Amino acid sequence: LAAGKGVVVTSDVEEAKAHAAGCERVVIEEFLDGPEVSLFAVTDGETVVPLQPAQDFKRALDGDEGPNTGGMGAYSPLPWADPELVDDVLRTVLQPTVDELRRRGTPFSGLLYAGLAITSRGVRVIEFNARFGDPETQVVLARLKSPLASLLLASANGTLADLEPLRWSEDAAVTVVVASHNYPGTPRTGDPITGLAEVAAEDAPHAYVLHAGTKQDGNTVVSAGGRVLSVTATGEDLAEARERAYRAVARIGLDGSHHRTDIAAKAAETAETAATGA
């Protein structure tokens, strides 16, 4: 947290000690050795309806290098994850959390976002947020076939127990964030964005552009923030969704912008290996 400042993650005890010696107060946390997963759930304070899990990419550069960001891309589903993951997290994390909040007289309804690490010792909760996550939401909602509005209304009305089970597309979804020059440092803004009409004409409906840090300047759309666009695509599998997303990204012009080229790359390979048995 706090842009990773003051945090050292290491398997070297001496490095940990040296860092701790330079700090006034020290918090030591369990080392989490597995991949991260974001799992969102909608609750009305009693019933908890989990969505599909997603994984985001927090570092700015390929290969998980470079500084932390708000998220440079995401994908769903997770071909490498245990098929029981969602049920397990619902049973061991989400439902007990919602039940305990209610028991304490502070009931919670809305969107509960569990940031998880799948470690060799089991699932660990890194954080909770009371909001959708970005950019995971782009891929989770791309796969949701049930109307989102009905889900949110049932959460607000306390009727989630009566809601039909959510329907999900079998398709995979990938989103790639196009970020401004210098992001995650102070981003340069005001640069014209080109290619939006070409994506709409050539790549829709499988690929599309979601605007984040943009604004209209006369007849031109210009950058207005660090993470400018999320280019999202669906496909029969992660490989196809990736290909479509990156084809659309290639049409976008934004001077000085950068994006990761490896979003969902490893997961797509895992899925292919599982499918071919190779």
CA distance 54 to 140: 7
- Stretch near ligand GLY under the rule CB under 6 A, chosen from 77-85, 130-138, 145-153, 262-270: 130-138
Compare residues 239 and 267 and give the one whose CB is closer to ligand GLY. Answer: 267
Residue 56 is a binding residue for ligand GLY (CB under 6 A): yes
Per CB under 6 A, the list member of 136, 171, 203, 237 interacting with ligand GLY is 136
Alpha-carbon distances of 273 from 115, 243, 266, 267, 269, rounded to whole Å: 27, 17, 11, 10, 6
Least distance (Å) between residue 70 CB and ligand GLY? 6
CB atoms within 10 A of CB 7: 12
Give the type of residue at 63: G
Contact of 44 with 154, CB cutoff 8 Å? yes
Least distance (Å) between residue 221 CB and ligand GLY? 24
- Stretch near ligand GLY under the rule CB under 6 A, chosen from 4-12, 43-51, 129-137, 150-158: 129-137
Compare residues 121 and 128 and give the one whose CB is closer to ligand GLY. Answer: 128
Least distance (Å) between residue 105 CB and ligand GLY? 28
Residue 133 is a binding residue for ligand GLY (CB under 6 A): yes
Per CB under 6 A, the list member of 46, 62, 99, 134 interacting with ligand GLY is 134
Contact of 14 with 60, CB cutoff 8 Å? no
Residues near ligand GLY (CB under 6 A) are 56, 71, 129, 133-134, 136
